[in-house]
Amino acid sequence: PTTQTSRPPTGGGTTRRASPADVVAAARRAFDGGVTKPRQWRVSQLRALRTLLVEHEHEVAAALHADLGKSATEAWVTETGFVVREIDHTLRHLRAWTAPRRVRVPLSLAPGRAKIVREPLGVVLVIAPWNYPVQLCLAPLVGALAAGNAVVLKPSEVAPATSALLARLLPMYLDTSAVHVVEGAVPETTELLAQRFDHIFYTGNGVVGRIVLEAATRHLTPVTLELGGKSPAYVADDADLRVTAQRLVWGKFTNAGQTCVAPDYVIASRPTLEALKPLLVEAIRAAFGPDPSTSPDYGRIIGSRHFDRLTALIDPARVVSGGRSDASTRYLEPTVVDVVDADDPQELVMRDEIFGPLLPLVAVDGLDAAVDFVNRRDKPLALYVFTTSDVVRRRFERDTSSGALAFNVPLAHLAVPGLPFGGVGPSGTGAYHGERSVELFSHAKSVFSLPTRPDLTVWVRPPFSSAKEQVI
């Protein structure tokens, strides 16, 4: 097969360059030729991807360290190992998820037979972001392959080491007729989006999400948008504050806060916030030591644009803890800040998704006010509630809307393979992981068959007057 890796003109390597149009055409040839449909092919691709991840774990970790300063453990838990677990879960259930399902036929249509057949969509485009550049590129790939599609992957140019590594390794392990990597930034992605795909799976910010959606309308291509936004964490007065602080610190400062489902800010009553503050400071120290810049477990900001954006959000007068930074290494200390008035447009930290290691604390006046605070804002990707009370749980379950709702722990719901992962409204459209991925990347085709003998359908054919008499 031809090499299907396309690099932007500035990219290195010896790979022959193919235009995005050529790449998509090649993927379509593979799909139309039936390469991707047999279950055996899907299984072999998933196994090969697993082998790649295990054999190159250290190289992948090195790329993630170069791009984001991730520790090897964090790289395994949140990226490489995450995808391996997704593959294992998918391989275990693939036969059941893709088997045709019989559907009951009403008596009036006997002796017909009905079933639902899951057919692959065709050529899928996956556009990935930089913050979990392995997981968010490869977890959708797992679903798309499991469902029998050809795939074009566009890793994020903002994580260049990981993008280059994926472009080099994937063709060494996967069927290069059907799985293609196109590296590049806006021009390459724009060119890709001009092509016709059968599904586009985009993860990233909402501004580009709109561009993707617009491009897709031209070909009526279905789109999944995995977006972000501000995910709130409400700490009820009855919460176990020590555990809450530890888990908030872990959820917020993993990957230096550059996690789409990171708790963006904390809301709680003023006394609870005051009690939480020293525990947060203690939990940060316990996790990253007195100087987090020397901790091997604390990451770095992806680039100078985001570094400048984040440091501009910090009002030194409001810092509870942290606040130090170093532009030369893109280090930004885990930082907790007080917010006086969340509705004041001057409160920059409460305007957009932070996507960095700043944790604002916002006082609200009790449960009703907390629910109202959440409901007055965009529906979040994740909503976290720390409580020991069933009343509080039920209230949030019933009266708020979010991609996910998690009690007493951030982030961890992603690791439950049976839970769909996705947003609602401005935080996204569609969901994936596990069986939901196979559903997402396939079409549930209705198949109905009615034997010609005995022919009992006379009652649905005109002349209806006589048919009516027959039925009666």
CB 89 within 8 A of CB 101: no
Which one, of 170, 366, 350, lies nearest residue 265 by Cα? 350
Q: How far apart are CA 133 and CA 154, in angstroms?
A: 10
Determine if 331 is a binding residue for ligand NAD (CB under 6 A). no
Determine if 62 is a binding residue for ligand NAD (CB under 6 A). no
Interhelix angle 186-193/20-32, nearest 10 degrees? 40
> Rule CB under 6 A: which of 334-393 touch ligand NAD?
353, 355, 381
Q: Which span sits near ligand NAD by CB under 6 A: 17-25, 64-72, 126-134, 451-459?
A: 126-134
Beta strands 199-203 and 150-154 are unpaired
Which one, of 388, 432, 386, 392, lies nearest residue 409 by Cα? 386
Q: Which span sits near ligand NAD by CB under 6 A: 98-106, 150-158, 292-300, 370-378?
A: 150-158
Query: Residue 3 CB, nearest distance to ligand NAD (Å)?
Result: 21
Determine if 116 is a binding residue for ligand NAD (CB under 6 A). no
Determine if 186 is a binding residue for ligand NAD (CB under 6 A). yes
Q: Which span sits near ligand NAD by CB under 6 A: 28-36, 123-131, 140-148, 464-472?
A: 123-131
Q: What is the CA radius of gyration of the chain?
A: 25
Residue type, 237: D
> Rule CB under 6 A: which of 390-449 touch ligand NAD?
423, 428
Determine if 130 is a binding residue for ligand NAD (CB under 6 A). yes
CB-hemisphere CA count at 13 Å for 340?
8
Q: Is 353 a catalytic residue?
A: no
Q: Which is nearer to ligand NAD, 360 or 423 (CB)?
A: 423
> Of these residues, 86, 226, 435, 439, which one is catalytic?
226
The widest CA-to-CA distance across the chain, in whole angstroms, is 89
Q: Which is nearer to ligand NAD, 269 or 421 (CB)?
A: 421
Task: State which of residues 120, 160, 171, 228 lies at the interface with ligand NAD (CB under 6 A).
Answer: 228
Q: How many CB atoms are located within 10 Å of the residue 343 CB?
A: 10
Task: State which of residues 204, 251, 417, 430 lies at the interface with ligand NAD (CB under 6 A).
Answer: 204
**Torsion sign across C-alpha atoms 86, 124, 9, 305:** negative
Determine if 208 is a binding residue for ligand NAD (CB under 6 A). yes
Q: Which is nearer to ligand NAD, 185 or 467 (CB)?
A: 185
Q: Which span sits near ligand NAD by CB under 6 A: 85-93, 128-136, 167-175, 329-337?
A: 128-136
Task: State which of residues 157, 175, 183, 264 lies at the interface with ligand NAD (CB under 6 A).
Answer: 157
Which one, of 267, 263, 247, lies nearest residue 371 by Cα? 267
Q: First and final CA of the chain: distance in angstroms?
A: 65
Q: Which is nearer to ligand NAD, 105 or 211 (CB)?
A: 211
The 10 Å CB-count burial string (b at 16+, else e) for 267-305 is: bbbeebbebbbebbbebbeebbeeebeeeebbbbbbbee
Angle at 201 between CA 47 and CA 380, to 5 degrees: 115
Q: Which span sits near ligand NAD by CB under 6 A: 65-73, 96-104, 117-125, 184-192?
A: 184-192
Closest residue to ligand NAD, Cβ-based?
228
Task: State which of residues 166, 260, 314, 354 lies at the interface with ligand NAD (CB under 6 A).
Answer: 260
Judge if the upstream peptide bond of residue 462 is cis by omega within 30 degrees of 0.
Answer: no
Binding site for ligand NAD (CB under 6 A): 127-131, 136, 154, 156-158, 185-186, 189-190, 203-205, 208, 211, 226-228, 260, 353, 355, 381, 423, 428
Active site residue ranges: 226
